[in-house]
Structure 1
Amino acid sequence: MNLSRPFIERPVATTLLTMGLALAGLVAYFLLPVAPLPSVDMPVIFVQASMAGASPETMSTSVATPLERHLGTIAGVNEMTSSSSTGSTRIVLQFDMKRDIDGAARDVQAAIVAARADLPTALRSNPTYRKMNPADQPVMILALTSDTLTPGQIYDAASTILSQKLSQVSGIGQVQVSGSSLPAVRVDLNPRALFKYGIGLETVRAALSAANANAPKGALEVGPKRYQVYVNDQARTANDFKTLIVAYRNGAAVRLQDVANVSDGVEDIRNLGMANGKPAVLVILTRQPGANIIETVDNVKKVLPVLQASLPPAVHVDVANDRTLSIRASVTDVQITMGIAVLLVMVVVYLFLRNGRATIIPSVAVPLSILGTFGVMYIAGFTIDILSLMALTVATGFVVDDAIVVLENVTRHIEGGMPRLQAALVGTGEVGFTVLSMSMSLIAVFIPILLYGGPIGKLFQEFAVVLAASVLISMVISLTTTAMLCGHLDLKHGEGKQGWLLNASERFFEAMRSVYTRSLGWALNNPRVFVFCFFATLGLTIFLFGKMPTSLMPAEDTGQIQGNIRADQSISFQLMQGKFQSFVQIIAKDPAVQSVVGFTGGGGGPRGGGTNSASVFIQLKPINDRGGLSTDDVVDRLRKKLTGIAGARISLMGARNFRTGGRSSDSFYQYAMLGESIEDLDKWVPKIVDALSALPEFEDVNSDRQDAGLEVQLSIDRQAAARLGISTTQITSTLYDAFGQRQVSTIYEDMNQYHVVMGVAPEFWQSPETLKDIYVSKAGGAVSGSQATAAVASTVTAPAGSTAAGTTADASADSRRNQQLNALVSTVSGSASTASALSTSKETMVPLSAFTSYGPGLTPLSIGHQGPFVATTISFNLAKGKTLGDAVAAINKTMADLHVPQSIHGEFGGNARLFQQNTGNMGILILTAIIAVYIILGVLYESLIHPITIISTLPSAGLGALIALLVARKFNDAIDLNIISEIGLILLIGIVKKNAIMMVDFALDAERRRGLTPREAIYEACLLRFRPIMMTTFAAILGALPLAFGFGTGAELRQPLGIAIVGGLMVSQLLTLYTTPVIYLYMDRFRLWAGRRWNRFYARLLGDPIQDAAE
């Protein structure tokens, strides 16, 4: 049965169907989204809780632990980590890939509600959650600057306008505004002035708290009209608060400006953002897990002009960091690479066929196969990404194989004098089964990959489906469109004289064939030599596979660098600010840097924060503008420049498109240390960090354990405090008033709410010695009774047109007003002495030193958990020329050498964990692929023997790939055995056996139809199939050659695949032309011997007397 007959006989229908396929694929191409890699994001949810002023220990025990207890019961959680710092707890939940993130989010919300009863009452609001991965790189960073506005005003615009609108953009998971904080009225109190007037901190706080009232006032109705009651009860600026009366002394008003410096500032002064050396507010955008990064960034860019128009004109918005620039460039370069591969394949076909008309036929098959594959990608929900385009680039080298096999066989009959139509029918009938065998066995290679799980399986699966679809479509096209064109196009050589290039190619081919004819005869006469070569190749392949340096993924050159600065844990913000600026200035001067932004201080948020840490984001110039230097080269250069800043260090790592796990760390790879107590970790983690730092495999080794922050430990003499009538609550409240940047009042505006922040002046919180200037008032400062009345009175009784904080009348007028009010209160209550509006006598002020003592101490700045264990994450980068396999082995050896106790155990996280989990799986995957190919070939040939002959070509391909990778590593130490090069090894299983199929299929047909002996049949098959074998092999090599050369953005990701394929094809082509026919003969002898043995066994089993007599 000839499947091609109806298509050959109906050229119009075949042409129309072909055009329909091409049109559908073209439409699908423009509808496909673009991405860096297939979506392999694990569902991750970030939970955050805040309790102002709480220590890391308090947050860990009272907030993190109960939340973890409830969150840990959610189905599908495979990793839960937390970090607790001052006033903040951050928990990251990572789920199985099969878990729906929306369903997981509902479960997280339910767990938070269930945990609320176990959380402290001081936690004013429920913990919040977001569908985002805090370890993910930002997709975009906006830098907001102004020549006239303050950072607080810029932050206000960013937080009020930009943050809300950008959060609504599809794909955005988190909008973090950094570099400053919201505007606030700052009240910097002078403790000495307060003591002079006998006013406690609590009294000032009470007055400030009562100075703003935003409550319903009601309405008046006068006849037909209604009047809303309005009171100027809002103080909004520092000037409004300066004249606020906090007390009376000797009949005169004591105003806020008498005891404090009141200014318009920001809520948190320990915060700084910079963009290219200028103060800036940064808007950091992170995508949701699974969101398409390019679509997300494009959506943001669409709304930016509208948002810019809604900001104050003085605010300038610049895109300081765009992660999609390198992705777009890389995708474009892969498309160019694919185009070059198609042209090279066409050149090979033309040089071998030496016929322009014949070359048109496979030239049509290649774009048709690619366009058809776009249609399959659209239906499957895939993206145009680096891996899918790599698959199509490689496919150009062997989707043409089927067309070449059909075309070459039909051309052979035409050159023998057969009419075109008859030659097409006969030729396609002869090779139809060969084409089917080649394609189906190649598709069989990908069956195990489709069943592979996890992020690696997700990467493999899209690559495999794209390749399988292109092979399947090329098979259909070769048996339909190619067959039809062969029957209706004149494929005879023209009579004109051929050019020198075609003549040279013909002479070269004939010379190769002549050499092969003579050497093949010698090989068949000396089969043991090539049997030895086969087993030597197999052994060497296994040996090299075990010795190859290994890693997870090649490090792409994204043109972006992330830096994490860490200083001494006891550093002040003022000193940290200077060091941060020094780092930024040095980075900005590097000629390869296009922009650098960063921030320090703050706290909370998905990226944490603190006075001793800072983050920088570096955008490099395009690779051609930086002298061809890779991102890793620039990182090495910057490391050397940045080592001179004393007291701080910076960890630099190139941004990656493939990153798993939910841990945030200073370096790219993580190794978590888990223990039952903080003390054990504090003892062993520094030893491990020091040991790893001394090894040549590592750079930027550090730990997130911060246990050496300085603290002032106040010890209360409770008996002395009790005798003085002072409670512990009063003491802690006073300390918080003085040093906690306490938000004591709310200012209500139309678009946002702002706060009044109270504390002592900076000169009183810069040394522990200033504690002697802090006094506790025995009055307690509660806002109640007459004092509250007085505080409000100082606002409400102001005449119309005055400020809300008081009047500008002189002190005597205030005193008269107060006396009048006291008289009124006395009339109502019957006692002026018990209802004084404002205290007119000094409060009893007791210095802290009277009942406390203090001394220095150490305190942890953060506490981490992983599951039920206390955890510390050691992070590291790889030294130049070292692989992840080297690092994993070094860590395991270090842990064994240090004899770390069993109470502490370590486990890899993120990409390192994924690498460790998949170590050894590739060998199983390759073996499974070989078994799948064997089964398919056995079914197709109805034989257990001949599939062994065909797959005997595989060791030579593996050897060639490994040798090519080792040679390439001599010139580029980034080349190793990773996911991409392993994909090449699996592909070789499907590619190289095509040559053996063409030989074996023709030889079996010659034995059956013409009665040739196995030696005659395989000898003739090798010679007749020599041209298509050489054509398909050269086409595959040249199709992968542009990948192997590795030019353009993102070439690091593509190069290992091309090198593995080119090396494997070259070696396998050289060896299998001889080993395949030799093994074919040995397998045929084995088949006959096994048949005889089976017949004897069967006869004895049945008790056949004739067979027994014959023996």
Structure 2
Amino acid sequence: MSVTGLFIRRPVATTLLTLACVLCGVVGYLTLPVADLPNIDFPVIQVQAQEPGGSPEQMASSVAAPLERHLGEIAGLEEMTSQSSTGPVRLTLQFALSRDVNGAARDVEAAIQAARADLPTTLRQNPQYSKANPNDPPALLLALTSDTMPLPQVYDQASSLILPRLSQVRGVGLVQLSGSALPAVRVEIDPQALYKFGIGFEDIRAALASANAYTPKGFIDQDGQRLTLETNDQARDAQAYRDLVIAYRNGRAVRLTDVAQVVDGVEDVRNAGYYNRKPAIVVQVFMQAGGNIVQALDQIHAEMPQLEAGLPAAIRMQTFMDRSMTIRASLADTRMTLVLSVVLVVLTVLLFLGTLGVISLLGYSLDNMSLMALTISTGFVVDDAIVVLENVTRHVEKGDPPLRGRAARRGSSNQGNLFIVLPDKSKRGHPPSTTIGNLNRRSHFMPGHGSHALLRSAIRVGARPSNAGYQYTLQGNDTAALYDWTQKLVTALSAQPELADVSSDVLLGDLALDVAIDRDTGARTQLTPQLIANTLYDAYGQRPASIIYNHLHQYRVVMEAAPRFWQDPASLRQVWVSVAGGTAQGGTQANTIRVPLATATTATTAAAQSAASFTNQIANTLAGDHSASNGSAVSTGAETMVPLQVVSQTTPGNIALAVNHEGQAVAATISFNLPTGVPLGRAIQVVDAQVRRLKMPPSIHGAFSGNAAQLQNSASSETLLIMAALAAVYMVLGILYESYLHPLTILSTLPSAGVGALVALWVFGQQFSLMAIIGGLAVCQALTLFTTPIVYLTLEQMARRVTAWRGTMPPGHPNTGLY
């Protein structure tokens, strides 16, 4: 039984069902998520760790490598990259599309816990992970400025009020603050004053740690009442630390202000943010994959008045980037095109055929891809309607009664539909992004400075940060050789006209001072590398020494040499290391409380020092600080001080600004863009040719990553997709006509259409991309749609013994003989 006939025989039911479909479409339209692209949830998880003062090499070997070993065992992990710089480490994990991001997050958390035993004990906190792609652009940027309030206080307000409120908005994946840091008490130490009093850096750290106990004190039960014990064991601002007694010399108390300047500042002085040339705190809002960007940002804007009311009057909050604006503009333009197309087509049908058609619009979300599909499908639906209505009208004109449905049934029986379901995104290529021309140029006006303007592709494969749209990654075991061959390849690729904005993430211009420790001399002076490293960290690493607990945040006490010292490399000659900071045997256990030696005689023996250190470890455990000092909280006697230059030699050098890993090997990524008119396939061929020409050693190997790698993997899939589409059309037409020959007759019109499509691409300077393939298939479908009724009418006329040539002519034409 014909499905079309059922609806023709029941006109009332058909009308009511159509109205129900329209109503469902209206309701669904109002509830559809709105985004710039369809929901494509690439399972990407970001892991971050931080150790202030650590060099890129140290962070890569001590933090990134242990994490990579444990994270690399997770099932379904397709790509793991890491970037280690001065202090922070960021690992990016991309999983297979078959993995659920929540399940992958649980595996990541378990791997982090397993790796904790291999990580340094000096980490401020355990590595943190987030289900956000660091390569995605933020959806919203806010700037907080103030003319009267210090920037650290503005940061504190943003961290306390804005960050948690925005994180609670549905669809928001990550909120980050930049431009400053939390308030802190900064202790800026004078190394010369320490030497004068015979006090070591570790003694200062021990004194600062012991100034904040904040441990439970218990309670007293008396006559049915409970008295909670409270003490003033918290020093909350710089004033409370200035008079802290750190030692006694000649019966006189040495206070912290005698050797250091104590000020209220920030945890990290080496960051800044600006908005319109004014210092500002920048709030970055990142979306979850699949979230409704427009709805989330609308909710954020709705909460803006409440957020601004909660902030002090001296703080101004401004929005300076909102991705929903471009999305709204794009969707509005596409909607207008769709509406105008529907209106014009319906008017045309009404004018020529005297009746109306109903079009049902369905979609998963309102985005550029779905609206484009709706625009194309509207034309297909209307084309089908025109063919059917024209056929029905022809039967009515021949005398078939329209009211009893005979003409409608006969006319609708000549229609066929073909639906092509595209494969998953991971199995298809992605079109190359349009380059942004002159914006992607290196800046030459500042020596040693380079800038890269990047127009990111709408759908970006992978989570690797880069300076351009496409990447080629080299890997090797020898870091020096890898960096050398990377520079050679960059030089070769920069000379190729098919590539633009060629650069790499290997930056070796960071200046360094190599402090080479003489272990023999250090052993004679009872100094170990651990003591020397601790002293350098105390003086130059912005080392957290204590925690100040508050109702909303935990603020830190940060110690460092005074700025005039950490800004001058010659200050290393003024650093003295205290022998009393630990035993000659060294050790990683720290002490916040130091018990003095019993007698002057036993104080000279290493065994006595080791026994005293063990006693100090017990006291340190009671103090509750697992990463405190080797020194004495209150030193009662001058300590033996050894100049740093006696046990070490300092030489200048260069190191990399960042160390990058892929998998568990050192990697270097070369980024490039495409000049106007150059396809990505051609660029891949050029890169491969230059790699072969350089003849790199076998220990260094390279491969494309990101969009370029996906294009390589999907090149054969595009051809298969076209062949599958043609095969499906042939099968449907063969079933429709019950013939092996007639489908070939219809498909014979496709070569001319394909040539015309290619000529159109060439004339307008477009590339043969995935979008071009979709457009070509749409043209072929439309051509097939209009060719089908011609073949059908020709067969009908040939059945009446009319030649095929005359059968293709319209009725009434002089050559047909049909009147």
With the length of structure 1 as denominator, give the TM-score of the two structures: 0.66
Partner of 1:390: 372
Map residues 408-487 of structure 1 onto 2, 5 A cutoff. 408-415=390-397, 420-421=402-403, 425-426=406-407, 428-435=408-415, 437=416, 439=417, 442-443=418-419, 446-447=420-421, 449=422, 452-455=423-426, 457=428
Instruction: State the Cα deviation string for residues 69-110 of structure 1 (Å, max 9, x = none).
Output: 332232222212222233433221111212211122222223
Q: Distance in 1 between matches of 2:36 and 2:432?
A: 14
Map residues 812-961 of structure 1 onto 2, 5 A cutoff. 839=635, 841-961=637-757
- Identity over aligned residues, as a percent? 46
Work out whether 1:176 is the aligned partner of 2:147: no
- SS of 1:713's equivalent? strand
Partner of 2:619: none
Partner of 2:592: 783
- Whether the 8 Å contact between 2:134 and 2:465 is mirrored in structure 1 is yes
Q: Distance in 2 between matches of 1:646 and 1:954?
A: 57
Partner of 1:253: 253
Instruction: State the Cα deviation string for residues 704-757 of structure 1 (Å, max 9, x = none).
Output: 123442221122223322332323222111111111111111111111111111
Letter in 2 for 1:704: D
**Aligned-CA RMSD value:** 2.8
| Structure 2 portions without partners, runs of 5+ | 583-590, 598-631
Alpha carbons of 1:952 and 1:981: their partners in 2 closer, same or farther (altered >3 Å)? same
Q: CA offset at residue 171 of structure 1?
A: 2.3
Q: Which has the larger radius of gyration?
A: 1
Alpha carbons of 1:268 and 1:125: their partners in 2 closer, same or farther (altered >3 Å)? closer
Partner of 1:987: 778
Letter in 2 for 1:992: L
Instruction: State the Cα deviation string for residues 656-714 of structure 1 (Å, max 9, x = none).
Output: 42211110122222111122321221120011112222333333322112344222112
The worse-fitting range, judged by mean Cα deviation, of 868-877 and 941-950 is 868-877
Q: Distance in 1 between matches of 2:779 and 2:112?
A: 51
- SS of 1:908's equivalent? strand
Map residues 136-175 of structure 1 onto 2, 5 A cutoff. 136-175=136-175
Instruction: State the Cα deviation string for residues 275-316 of structure 1 (Å, max 9, x = none).
Output: 121111112122223333333333433444333333333222
Q: Distance in 1 between matches of 2:698 and 2:112?
A: 34
- Whether the 8 Å contact between 1:42 and 1:95 is mirrored in structure 2 is yes
Alpha carbons of 1:65 and 1:181: their partners in 2 closer, same or farther (altered >3 Å)? same
Alpha carbons of 1:656 and 1:302: their partners in 2 closer, same or farther (altered >3 Å)? farther
Alpha carbons of 1:398 and 1:721: their partners in 2 closer, same or farther (altered >3 Å)? closer
Partner of 1:65: 65
Alpha carbons of 1:10 and 1:717: their partners in 2 closer, same or farther (altered >3 Å)? closer
Partner of 1:772: 573
Map residues 618-657 of structure 1 onto 2, 5 A cutoff. 632=436, 636=438, 639=441, 643-657=444-458
Q: CA offset at residue 10 of structure 1?
A: 4.1
Alpha carbons of 1:894 and 1:932: their partners in 2 closer, same or farther (altered >3 Å)? same
Partner of 1:399: 381
Letter in 1 for 2:244: L
Q: Distance in 1 between matches of 2:338 and 2:393?
A: 28
Map residues 318-337 of structure 1 onto 2, 5 A cutoff. 318-337=318-337
Map residues 350-749 of structure 1 onto 2, 5 A cutoff. 353=352, 358-359=353-354, 361=355, 364-365=356-357, 368-369=358-359, 372-374=360-362, 377=363, 382-415=364-397, 420-421=402-403, 425-426=406-407, 428-435=408-415, 437=416, 439=417, 442-443=418-419, 446-447=420-421, 449=422, 452-455=423-426, 457=428, 552-555=431-434, 632=436, 636=438, 639=441, 643-749=444-550
Partner of 1:41: 41
- SS of 2:581's equivalent? coil
- Whether the 8 Å contact between 2:798 and 2:807 is mirrored in structure 1 is no
Partner of 2:99: 99
| Structure 1 portions without partners, runs of 5+ | 460-550, 556-630, 789-835, 970-974, 1027-1073, 1078-1111
Alpha carbons of 1:72 and 1:849: their partners in 2 closer, same or farther (altered >3 Å)? closer
- Whether the 8 Å contact between 2:204 and 2:633 is mirrored in structure 1 is no
Q: Distance in 2 between matches of 1:713 and 1:838?
A: 33
Q: Distance in 1 between matches of 2:226 and 2:537?
A: 46
Instruction: State the Cα deviation string for residues 319-356 of structure 1 (Å, max 9, x = none).
Output: 221112111110111001112222332454466x2xxx
Q: Distance in 2 between matches of 1:846 and 1:62?
A: 28
Q: CA offset at residue 773 of structure 1?
A: 0.8
Partner of 2:231: 231
Q: Distance in 2 between matches of 1:5 and 1:254?
A: 102
Map residues 967-982 of structure 1 onto 2, 5 A cutoff. 967-969=763-765, 975-982=766-773
- SS of 1:650's equivalent? coil
Alpha carbons of 1:37 and 1:937: their partners in 2 closer, same or farther (altered >3 Å)? same
- Whether the 8 Å contact between 2:512 and 2:652 is mirrored in structure 1 is yes
Q: CA offset at residue 1024 of structure 1?
A: 4.2
Q: Distance in 1 between matches of 2:62 and 2:198?
A: 38
Q: Distance in 1 between matches of 2:705 and 2:773?
A: 22
The worse-fitting range, judged by mean Cα deviation, of 268-277 and 860-869 is 860-869
Q: Distance in 1 between matches of 2:117 and 2:499?
A: 46
Q: Distance in 2 between matches of 1:1025 and 1:142?
A: 70
Q: Distance in 1 between matches of 2:564 and 2:736?
A: 88
Q: Distance in 2 between matches of 1:120 and 1:845?
A: 27
Alpha carbons of 1:412 and 1:723: their partners in 2 closer, same or farther (altered >3 Å)? closer
Q: Distance in 2 between matches of 1:129 and 1:1025?
A: 75
- Whether the 8 Å contact between 1:553 and 1:978 is mirrored in structure 2 is yes
- Whether the 8 Å contact between 1:709 and 1:859 is mirrored in structure 2 is yes
Instruction: State the Cα deviation string for residues 121-146 of structure 1 (Å, max 9, x = none).
Output: 55565433221111111111221111
Q: CA offset at residue 787 of structure 1?
A: 7.1
Partner of 2:603: none
- Greater helix share, 1 or 2? 1
- Whether the 8 Å contact between 1:147 and 1:314 is mirrored in structure 2 is yes
Partner of 2:600: none
- Whether the 8 Å contact between 2:47 and 2:128 is mirrored in structure 1 is yes
Alpha carbons of 1:346 and 1:725: their partners in 2 closer, same or farther (altered >3 Å)? same
Alpha carbons of 1:167 and 1:1025: their partners in 2 closer, same or farther (altered >3 Å)? farther
Aligned residues: 773
Map residues 1030-1041 of structure 1 onto 2, 5 A cutoff. none
Q: CA offset at residue 249 of structure 1?
A: 2.9
Q: CA offset at residue 18 of structure 1?
A: 2.0
Partner of 1:466: none
Alpha carbons of 1:120 and 1:968: their partners in 2 closer, same or farther (altered >3 Å)? same
Letter in 2 for 1:764: F
Letter in 2 for 1:988: V
Q: CA offset at residue 2 of structure 1?
A: 6.7
- Whether the 8 Å contact between 1:954 and 1:988 is mirrored in structure 2 is no
The worse-fitting range, judged by mean Cα deviation, of 145-154 and 912-921 is 912-921
- Whether the 8 Å contact between 1:553 and 1:980 is mirrored in structure 2 is no
Alpha carbons of 1:715 and 1:326: their partners in 2 closer, same or farther (altered >3 Å)? same
Q: Distance in 1 between matches of 2:252 and 2:132?
A: 57
- Whether the 8 Å contact between 2:8 and 2:409 is mirrored in structure 1 is no
- Whether the 8 Å contact between 2:83 and 2:91 is mirrored in structure 1 is yes
Partner of 2:789: 998
Q: CA offset at residue 1022 of structure 1?
A: 3.7
Partner of 2:624: none
- Whether the 8 Å contact between 2:392 and 2:411 is mirrored in structure 1 is no
Q: Distance in 2 between matches of 1:960 and 1:785?
A: 87
